[in-house]
Amino acid sequence: MANHQALLIIDYTNDFVATQGALTCGEPGQKLAPAITTLADQFHQADDWVLFPTDVHTPNDPYHPETKLFPPHNVRDTWGRELFGPVKDWYDDHATDDKVWLFDKTRYSAFAGTDLDLRLRERHVDTLHLAGVCTDICVLHTAIAAYNLGYHLVIHRNAVASFNPTGHEWALGHFETALGATVVD
C-alpha cells in the first residue's frame, strides 16, 4: 500500500540556524530541533517519507538573484550547509534509508528546478508536512508551490521559525487563510 504523506524539513542548516551561521534564525531556529527530530521519528516509524530540501549556493554567483539580497550562505561543501545539531545526527543515522533523502535546491521553493513533484507523484504522496526555516521565505515559497500543484498542506507551528518574527507570524496566517493549510502545534 502506498503512503500518502511526506515530511519536508526545509533548510535546517548551520548557516540558517547556528549562532554563528551566515543568515541565522538563531535561538528561535535552534529551539526547533527537538520538534523536528520527533516529527522525523514519527514519519520514519510510520514508513512515510522524510525529505530534506536543502539550499545550496556558489559564492557571489552573478546569475543568482539572492546574491544581491543576502550574504553568501549554504555554500556547497562547507560547514554552513551541513544540517544543524540533532537534526544532522538524525539524518546521518537514517541517510541510507530509501524513504529518507536530502536534495539540493537553489531557490526558495523546494519545487523550483528540482524533480520533487515528480518523485512525490511517483510515490502517490498527496499531503506534505512542512518544517524548517525560514517560515516566511523557503517554507512559505515551498507551501505556495505545493498548493499550486494540488498538495494538501500541514504546517507544524512548533517546527518552523524565521529571523523575522513579524514575517513568521504573517506566514502562519497566510498558510491557513490563503493556502488552506492546516497549522498544528
Looking at residue 122, which CATH number applies to its domain?
3.40.50.850
User: Which domain covers residue 37, as residue numbers?
Assistant: 5-184
Please report the beta strands in the chain, taking only residues with DSSP state E, as ranges in sequence order: 5-10, 49-55, 100-105, 127-133, 152-161, 182-184
Confidence at residue 2, expressed as pLDDT on a 0 to 100 scale: 46
Domain count, the chain: 1
- Grid coordinates representing 65 are 538573484
Angle in degrees, CA 144, 115, 66, rounded to 5: 60
Which parts of the chain have pLDDT scores under 70?
1-3
Name the maximum alpha-carbon separation found in the chain.
Answer: 47
Confidence at residue 62, expressed as pLDDT on a 0 to 100 scale: 87
pLDDT digits (tens, 9 = 90+) for 47-85: 999 999 999 999 888 888 888 898 889 999 999 999 999
Confidence at residue 1, expressed as pLDDT on a 0 to 100 scale: 38
Please report the beta strands in 38-178, taking only residues with DSSP state E, as ranges in sequence order: 49-55, 100-105, 127-133, 152-161
Point out which residues pair with 55 in neighbouring strands: 105
